Amino acid sequence: MTDFEDYPANDRARLVRKGRGATSNRVGRYERHAKEAIDDGWGSLDEDLPPLQTELRPDTSRSVIAWNESPDIPFDRSINPYRGCEHGCVYCYARPTHAFLGLSPGQDFESKLFFKPDAARILEAELAKPSYRCKFIALGTNTDPYQPTEKRLEITRSILQVLAAHDHPLSITTKSALVTRDIDILAPMAAKGLATVSISVTTLDGTLARTLEPRTSTPSKRLDAIRALNDAGVPCGVMVAPCIPGLTDAEMETILDAASAAGAREAAYIALRLPLEIKELFEEWLHSHAPGRAKHVLNLMREMRGDALYQSEFGTRMKGTGPYAALMERRFELACTRLGLNRARATLDTTRFHRPPRTGDQLSLF
């Protein structure tokens, strides 16, 4: 396949689809054949590409709780109501999962979505198993539970209703202000110590956000969501993620200042991760939208990743290594100290959980 940077600048612009993050639909790593655009002599490459429509397909998975044993994340179970994400964040580390479905981690990932229509029913059955032991469930660990289609499908909301009904603790990570729609569920849960939220903010530059993460809530609306959740009694922190060296990392302190002013009392950050196909997709995006910074950004990435664009080892994959990574971490620590962030951490209560009844269970007399 021809590298994106080999196209002339005017051809690169025509490959970009309005409202989409990835600038190509390069095939996944399991496919035997690749596709390449060629000029057939009829001027087809001179035409702008049509808008890419979103397709929704039901996901018939028989379970909704995903389990992990990763030593560098603070949860062992999560729920992702959707596969693929219409937000279109070009850097999304979940993109390579679409290759398992025979689809592209590029534009397919953000336009061919799978939703779990029976998620609430399946979740209730999983919670009812005698072997189930309660620990908090994380939502939004792979794809965003509040991407645009959630406004209509309300699958995430149905999951929250099940967890609330059985006093099961949860945490949510999202880039969407749509999470405030569910304050009526989250606020009573938070009052019992059962709910926390983290809003991810990559940049406060609206112009940059429109190309980097095109269908997310605007940065200002995310800050408004942090304020609304905290005002309602739902502990809501900020995740400066991903922190992109040479592109967005200079905004770290500004983002933390703004989130603190909106009521956030906790914060975290993650350095940009580029596993598998994301490396090429992100390089394409840089050459299209930030060509003057592309070489600098990629060089800083290699400096933080042992002269590669990604290292997958536990313990280093989230922050990177080397002087630039250490400087980024120190800046974060100093800003948090100055703002009083992370002085106390919200805790989630697992003792309130009561198991859903199973068919045939004897009802309690009390």
pLDDT at residue number 243: 97
Among 7-16, 64-73, 175-184, which stretch is predicted with the lowest mean pLDDT? 7-16
Looking at residue 276, the DSSP 8-state letter turns out to be T
- How many CB atoms within 10 Å of residue 360? 5
Helix, strand and coil percent figures for the chain, each rounded to 5: 35, 10, 50
Chain centroid offset of residue 145 CA? 9
Sheet holding 112-115, edge to edge: 55-58, 112-115, 82-83
Inter-axis angle of helices 323-339 and 294-304, to 10 degrees?
90
* Residue 174: φ, ψ to 5°: -155, 160
Q: Pick the closest to residue 143 from 97, 90, 83 (CA basis).
A: 83
pLDDT at residue number 316: 86
pLDDT at 244 over 80: yes
pLDDT at residue number 230: 98
B/e letters for 35-64, b = 16+ CB within 10 Å, e = fewer, are eeeeeeeeeebeeeeeebebebeebeeeeb
* Residue 250: φ, ψ to 5°: -65, -20
pLDDT at 33 over 90: no
Residue linked to tokens 């992990």: 68
pLDDT at 90 over 70: yes
pLDDT at residue number 71: 83
Determine the number of helices (DSSP H) and then strands (DSSP E) in the chain.
12, 10
Higher pLDDT, 155 or 362: 155
- How many CB atoms within 10 Å of residue 346? 16
- pTM for the structure as a whole: 0.89
Mean pLDDT of the chain: 90
Query: Each residue of 294-342: pLDDT tens digit?
Result: 999 999 999 999 999 988 888 888 899 999 999 999 999 999 999 999 9
What's the CATH code, domain 4-25+52-339?
3.80.30.30
Q: Which secondary structure element, helix H or strand E, spans residue 82, and what is its range?
A: strand 82-83
Query: Each residue of 169-225: pLDDT tens digit?
Result: 999 999 999 999 999 999 999 999 999 999 999 999 999 999 999 999 999 999 999
pLDDT at 346 over 60: yes
**Residue at 167: amino acid letter:** D
pLDDT at residue number 2: 40
Residue 5: band (very low, low, confident or very high) from pLDDT cuts 50, 70, 90 = very low
Residue 363: band (very low, low, confident or very high) from pLDDT cuts 50, 70, 90 = low
